[in-house]
Chains A and B, each alone.
Chain A
Amino acid sequence: MTQRTRAIMNLFYLPALLLFAVFVVYPFFEGIRISFTNWNGYLPNYRYVGFANYRRLLTDPYFSSVFWNTILYGFGCTLLQNVLGMGLALFMDTKFRGRGVLRAVVYLPAMIAPLIMGYVMFFVFQFSGGALNDIMLLFGGERVDWLAVPGRTVTIIVIVNTLQYVGVAMVIFLAGLQNIPAMYTEAAHIDGVGSWGMFRYITFPLLMPAITSSVILNLIGGLKLFDIIRALTPPSPSTGAASLSTYLTYQYANVERAGYSAVLGIVTFVFILIVSNLTMWFFDRREAQML
C-alpha cells in the first residue's frame, strides 16, 4: 500500500473521532470548567468559585462510602459473576437433558433492562408484602427490612446484578470451553490427571483470554452501576448504598450543585480509566506468562 492510500484509509475513522470529540472530549473539558463554578444546573446566572467544589470533596461525609461502594459494586460483581459463570459453564459443558433451556433462562435476564429488573426486585425485597418476607413468615420467621441496613443493601444489589448478568460470563466461558481441542483433555486423561488438575493445568490456562474479556466486561459494567440502585433505594446517599454514578446525578438533579457534580464526574472518569487500564495490563501480563 502506498503512503497516500494509507492516508486516505485513515480518513475512514474521522466520523468516529468527530463524535468522540464532540460528546466525550469536549464535555470532559467543559466539565472541568463547570467544576469551578457554583452553577445550580438550570438558572443562567452563576459565578466562578475557584477550588471550592474540590475542597468540598475533601469534607464530604458521604464521599468515602460512595467511593467504597463503587469499588464493591465493581469488583464484587466481577468476582461473583466470573466464579459463578465458570461454575455454570463447567456444569453445562456436559451433556444432559434441559441444558438448552437452562442456558436460555440464565441468559434471559441479561437482555432485560436493569431498571425493570430493579423494580421487580423491589417486589421481592420490600418489607411490607415483599416476596422474600412472605417466605420468612411461611417458615415461622420474622419479617426483615432488607434494604434498611447499608451493608446488606449493598450486598443485595451486588447479588441482584450478579444474577442478572452471570449469563454473560457463562456463555463466554462455555464458548471458550467448547473451543478447547479434545486432544488436550484426552491426552491429559490418559496421563491420569484428575479433574481438578485438568481444570487447573489445562482448562483454566486455555480459558485465560475468555476470562480476560469477561472480567473487563463485568468490571466496566459494575463500576458504572446505576439503574438497579436507582430502582431499589431513595436518591439520598444516607442509605449507604449510593455509587459514584448515582451520587453525582443526585448532586446534579436533587441538590442542584452542578459544579460539585462535575467534580465528582471528573473523579469517576479518572478513577474508572485507571482501574480498567490497570486490570487490562494485569491480565495482558498474565496471559503472556501463560503462553
Chain B
Amino acid sequence: MKRLLSIGLILALALTALPAITLGDGVTLNVWTNMTGVVNETFAEVCREFTAETGINIDYAAPANDYEALMKTKMATEDLPDVFSTHGWSVIRYSSFLRPLNDQLWFGDISEVIIPLITDDDGNIFVLPVDIDIAGIVYNRDILAEVGVDVDDIVTWTDFAAVCELVKEAGYIPVYLGGKDDWTIGQFFDWVAPSFFVTNEAENDRDALIDGTFDWNKWGALADMFADWNQRGFLNVDAATSDYATCTTELGLGNVAFEFFGNYAIVDANKAGPANLGMMPIPAYFEGDTPTLIAGERLAMGVWKDSKHPEEALQFINFLARPEIMSKLASANGALAGFESVESDTGAVAGDFEKYADVRTFPYFDRIYLPNGMWNDLCATGLGILNGSMSTEAIVDYMRESYLEKMDLL
C-alpha cells in the first residue's frame, strides 16, 4: 500500500511535467526583464496581448534576484535574449550587445529627464525607456507631523540628522536597513554618494571619479556619517542582520521614519500595514547645495544586436512604445512614463512627483562614476561599518584598491 502510494506520488509529480514538453510553432522571441511583483504580472499580460495580435510567441522570463548574474553569464557566452531590460546599464554594460534604436519613429518622444542617462558618447540610444525611475527617500508623513517637522525644511544631512534625533526621542526608528540583504546598504551609499561628490556645482569630483584621479580620502566623510548615524542609534539595532522584508513590514506598521528605497517599497509596506508614506528628495552635503532626486532606467528594453529575429524583436519594442501599453506598464511600476506625452498613475507619491518636478535629478552613483563591478564594495564596506569589522581608514583603503583594480590602474 505504502509502495503504491509512493509510486502514485512520483507519477503525479511526473504528470505535472507534461505541459512543459508541448511545443508551439512559428517564431518565438526570448524576452527577459528584471521586474518583480505587479509589473512582472502586467508585463506577462502585455506579452500575451502581443502574441494574440501578431501570432509571434513570446518566451517571457523574469529571474528577479538572479537577473544580473544571469545576464553576466549570458554575455560571457554571447547568448542573450532577443529583447531584454537593461536595469540601468544600457550604455556602460550592454551597449556593445544592443542594436541602436535612434531610427525608430518614437525616438523624438523620449522624455528629457531620461535622455542623457541612456545616450552614449556618439549620441546613440539603445533602449526604449518604458518608464523612468525617479527615486528619493521614502518617509512616514505621520511621524514627521508628530515631531513637528516640515519635510521641505530638510535641506542638508545636518538637518536630516537633527530630525532623526527627534524621531528617535519620539520612540520611532529613524532609518531602517536590512543588512542580510546587503543591497539595502549598497543602495544607501549609491544614493547618498552623489550629494558628497557630484551634485554640488561649486565643488565636485565628477571628472576625477571618471578619469581615475579621485582622492579616496574624501570617501571617509561619507563612511563617517554612516558610522555616526549607527552610533547615535539612528539605525535599527539589527541593521546588519535584518532583511528587506522586515524593512517594508516595519515601514508599513508605522515604526520607521525613513527608508532609502524607491516607490516599490511603499507598495510592499502597505501590504503589512496602512502607514501614510511619501517620497522626499535626498538632502545635500554642502551648505548652499540643494536636495536632489535620483533618476535612472526602470523598465528599459533593448534589442540584442545578434538576435535571430530582429524584425519581430523591433515589432515587440514598438508594441511596448504604444501609449496605452506604456501607460499600463508605467502605472504598474508607479513610475512616470518614458515619453513626455504618455500619462501614468504614480499612486501614493503622485503628489510628491508633482511637487518635486523641478528638483534636479542625478544618475545612480555606481552606474556613472564607478567602474563596472564596484557595486559589491558599497554593500560590503557598509556592512563592515555596521558589524564593526571595518574602520573608516580600512574602508577608504578598500575602496581605493578596488577602484584602481577595476579601472585597471594597478
Q: Which residues of A contact B72 (CB under 8 A)?
A: 41-42
Question: Which listed residue, A40, A41, A239, touches B383 by the CB 8 Å rule?
Answer: A239
Which B residue's beta carbon lies closest to that of A231? Answer: B180
| Inter-chain contacts of A127 with B (CB < 8 A) | 237-238, 241-242
Q: B366 contacts the other chain (Cβ, under 8 Å)?
A: no
Q: Are B238 and A234 in contact (CB under 8 A)?
A: no
User: Is B384 on the interface with A (CB-CB < 8 A)?
Assistant: yes
- CB pair B179–A42 under 8 Å, yes or no, is no
Contact check: which of B76, B241, B373 meets A126 at CB < 8 Å? B241
CB distance from A94 to the nearest CB of B (A): 27
Contacts of B384 in A (CB 8 A): 236, 238
A44 to B72, CA, bound (A): 11
**Contact A145 to B238, CB < 8 A, known contacts A41-B72, A43-B76:** yes
**Band of interface residues on A:** 20 to 34
**For residue B240, which residues in chain A have a CB less than 8 angstroms away from its CB?**
145, 148, 234, 239
Does any Cβ of A come within 8 Å of B182's Cβ?
Answer: yes
A151 touches B (CB below 8 Å): no
**Which of A42, A129, A232, A238 lies in contact with B380, CB distance below 8 A?**
A238
Stretch at the interface among A217-225, A250-258, A262-270: A250-258
Distance A129 CA – B249 CA, assembled complex (angstroms) = 11
- Interface flag for A233 (CB, 8 Å): yes
With A42-B72, A42-B75, A128-B250 known as contacts, the answer to whether A235 contacts B387 (CB < 8 A) is no
Any A CB within 8 A of the CB of B73 = yes
Beta-carbon contact of A126 and B238 below 8 Å = yes
B145 contacts the other chain (Cβ, under 8 Å)?
Answer: no
**By CB atoms of chain A within 10 A, which of B242, B383, B389 has the most?**
B389
Which residues of chain A are near B241, meaning CB under 8 Å?
126-127, 145-148, 233
- Neighbour of B389 across the interface among A40, A233, A234, A238, CB < 8 A: A238
**Contact (A128, B238) CB under 8 Å given A238-B390, A240-B389:** yes
- Which of these, A42, A146, A236, contacts B182 with CB under 8 Å? A236
Chain A residues contacting B315 (CB-CB under 8 Å) are none
Q: What 1/0 mask marks residues of chain A from 105 to 135 whose CB sits below 8 Å from any chain B CB?
A: 0000000000000000010001111000000
Which chain B residues in 207-260 approach chain A with CB under 8 Å?
Answer: 236-238, 240-243, 246, 249-250
Determine the residue in chain A with the shortest Cβ distance to B241: A147
- Note all chain B residues with C-beta closer than 8 A to A122: 180, 243
Whole-angstrom CA separation of A145 from B390 in the bound complex: 19
A238-B76 contact given A147-B241, A148-B240, A148-B241, CB 8 Å threshold: no
Complex Cα distance, B250 from A256, in Å, reads: 33
Question: Would you give the 0/1 interface string for A39-58, flagging 1 where the beta carbon is closer than 8 Å to chain B?
Answer: 01111100000000000000
Chain B neighbourhood of A254, CB < 8 A = 376, 380
Q: Are B246 and A129 in contact (CB under 8 A)?
A: yes
Tell me if B383 and A43 are in contact (CB < 8 A).
no
B 58-80 contacts with A by CB, 8 A: 69, 72-73, 75-76
Q: Per-position contact with A for B168-209: 1 when CB-CB < 8 Å, else 0?
A: 000000000001111000000000000000000000000000
B235 to chain A, nearest CB (A): 12
The answer, yes or no, to whether B379 is at the interface (CB within 8 Å) is yes
Q: Of B75, B182, B242, B373, which is within 8 A of A128 by CB?
A: B242
Chain A 135-152 interface residues, beta-carbon cutoff 8 Å to B: 145-148, 150
With most chain B CB atoms within 10 A of its CB, the pick from A43, A128, A147, A232 is A128
Residues of A within 8 A of B380 (CB): 236, 238, 254
Question: Are A236 and B379 also in contact (CB < 8 A) when A40-B373, A42-B76 are?
Answer: yes
Question: How far in angstroms is the closest Cβ of chain A from B35?
Answer: 22
Contacts of B179 in A (CB 8 A): 234
Residues of chain B within 8 A (CB-CB) of A126 are: 238, 241-243, 246
Binding site for B on A (CB under 8 A): 40-44, 122, 126-129, 145-148, 150, 232-236, 238-240, 253-256
Residues of B within 8 A of A (CB): 69, 72-73, 75-76, 179-182, 236-238, 240-243, 246, 249-250, 373, 376, 379-380, 383-384, 387, 389-390
Told that A41-B76, A126-B246 touch, could you supply 19 new A-B pairs with CB distance under 8 A? A42-B76, A44-B76, A122-B243, A126-B242, A127-B241, A145-B237, A148-B240, A148-B387, A233-B180, A234-B181, A234-B240, A234-B379, A238-B380, A238-B383, A238-B390, A240-B387, A254-B376, A255-B373, A256-B373
A-B contact pairs, 30 of them (CB 8 A): A40-B373, A41-B72, A42-B72, A42-B73, A42-B75, A122-B180, A122-B243, A126-B238, A126-B241, A126-B246, A127-B238, A128-B246, A145-B240, A146-B241, A147-B180, A148-B387, A232-B180, A234-B179, A234-B181, A234-B182, A236-B182, A236-B383, A238-B383, A238-B387, A239-B240, A239-B383, A239-B387, A240-B387, A253-B69, A255-B376
